[in-house]
A and B are shown apart, each in its own frame.
Chain A
Amino acid sequence: MRWLAASSLALLVGVALQAATTTVTAQDPEETQDPPSEETAPPEVAPPQDTAPKPAAKDAGWGAIFIEIDDWIAQPAGLEYRAATLLHPEDPLGTSVVSVGQSTEPAFYIRGGFGLRNEIGDIVLTYYRHSEDRHLEALTPGSFLYGEINTSGFFAGVNLDGLADGFAADTRTRLRDFRADFYRSAFESKRTSGRWFVGYRDVSHDRQLAADYFAIAPNLPPIIPPAVSPRPDLEPKADTSDVSSTFQGRGLEAGLDVQFKVWRDTVWFETGLGLAVLRGEMATSYTSVTHFYGFVENNEVVAVVLPPYELFNLCEIDGCPIVDSIAQIATPVGIQDASQSEDANVIETDLALHFKFWKTAEFVAGFRSISYTNVGQELRPGEVELETSLVIDDFGLDGSPILRLNAQTLERTAHSVDYEGFYFGLAIRF
Chain B
Amino acid sequence: MRKVLATLAAALMLASMGCNTTQPTGGGPQVITVTASASALVDVWQIWDLWADTDEPLDGVPDVQTPFHTCVRQVDPVNTSVPWPYSAEITLIQAGTTDEIPLRSTVSATNPFSNITPYDTNVRRTVPDLLPQVPFYFLNGREVTAGTRDYIDSCTTLGSAFEDSNILGDPVAFSFQVQQGDTIVFRARKQLVDDANPYATLVRSEVVLSSSYFVDGRGVTPSGETFVSSDGGGFTASVRIR
Contacts and interface: CB of A to CB of B under 8 A. Distances in A.
Partners in one complex: yes
Interface of A: 71, 73, 103-106, 137, 139-143, 166, 214, 216-222, 224-227, 308, 313-314, 316-317, 357-358, 363, 424-426
Given A103-B18, A106-B15, A141 B187 contact: no
B87 A139 contact: no
Interface in B69-118: 87, 89, 93, 95-98, 107-108, 112
Interface stretch (B32-40, B138-146, B171-179, B232-240): B232-240
B1 interface: yes
Q: How large is the interface on B (under 10, 10 to 19, 20 to 34, 35 or more residues)?
A: 35 or more
A317 B192 contact: yes
Given A140-B240, A221-B236, A224-B234, A216 B98 contact: yes
7 contacts: A73-B18, A139-B98, A217-B223, A226-B87, A313-B232, A317-B232, A424-B15
A125 to B, nearest CB: 21
B93 A217 contact: yes
Contacts of B163: none
B238 A227 contact: no
A141 B11 contact: no
B224 A217 contact: yes
B234 A217 contact: no
Question: For chain A, what secondary structure do more than half of its interface residues adopt (helix, strand, loop), or is it mixed?
Answer: loop
Given A227-B232, A313-B233, A358-B1, 11 more contacts: A71-B16, A73-B18, A139-B95, A141-B93, A141-B185, A217-B93, A219-B237, A225-B108, A227-B234, A363-B4, A426-B12
B225 interface: yes
Nearest to B96: A139
Nearest to B111: A226
B89 A425 contact: no
Nearest to B233: A313
B149 interface: no
Contacts of B231: 317
B18 A104 contact: yes
Nearest to A221: B234
Contacts of B165: none
Most buried by B among A73, A106, A141, A316: A141
B236 A222 contact: yes
B233 to A, nearest CB: 5
Contacts of B15: 71, 73, 106, 424
A314 B15 CA distance: 63
B12 to A, nearest CB: 5
A219 B18 contact: no
A221 B239 contact: no
Interface of B: 1, 4, 8, 11-12, 15-20, 87, 89, 93, 95-98, 107-108, 112, 183, 185, 187-189, 192, 222-225, 228, 230-240
Contacts of B87: 224-226
A221 B209 CA distance: 13
Given A142-B222, A217-B185, A222-B236, A105 B98 contact: no
B93 A216 contact: yes
A225 B107 contact: yes
B11 A424 contact: yes
B236 A424 contact: no
Nearest to B239: A142
Contacts of A314: 230
A317 B230 contact: yes
B4 A357 contact: yes
Closest 3 CB pairs of A and B: A219-B224, A142-B223, A142-B238
Contacts of B228: 313
Contacts of B224: 142, 217, 219
A358 B19 CA distance: 31
Contacts of A222: 89, 187-189, 234-236
A18 to B, nearest CB: 34
Contacts of B223: 141-143, 217, 219
Contacts of A317: 192, 230-233
A167 to B, nearest CB: 10
Contacts of A140: 240
A143 B240 contact: yes
B141 to A, nearest CB: 42
Contacts of A316: 232
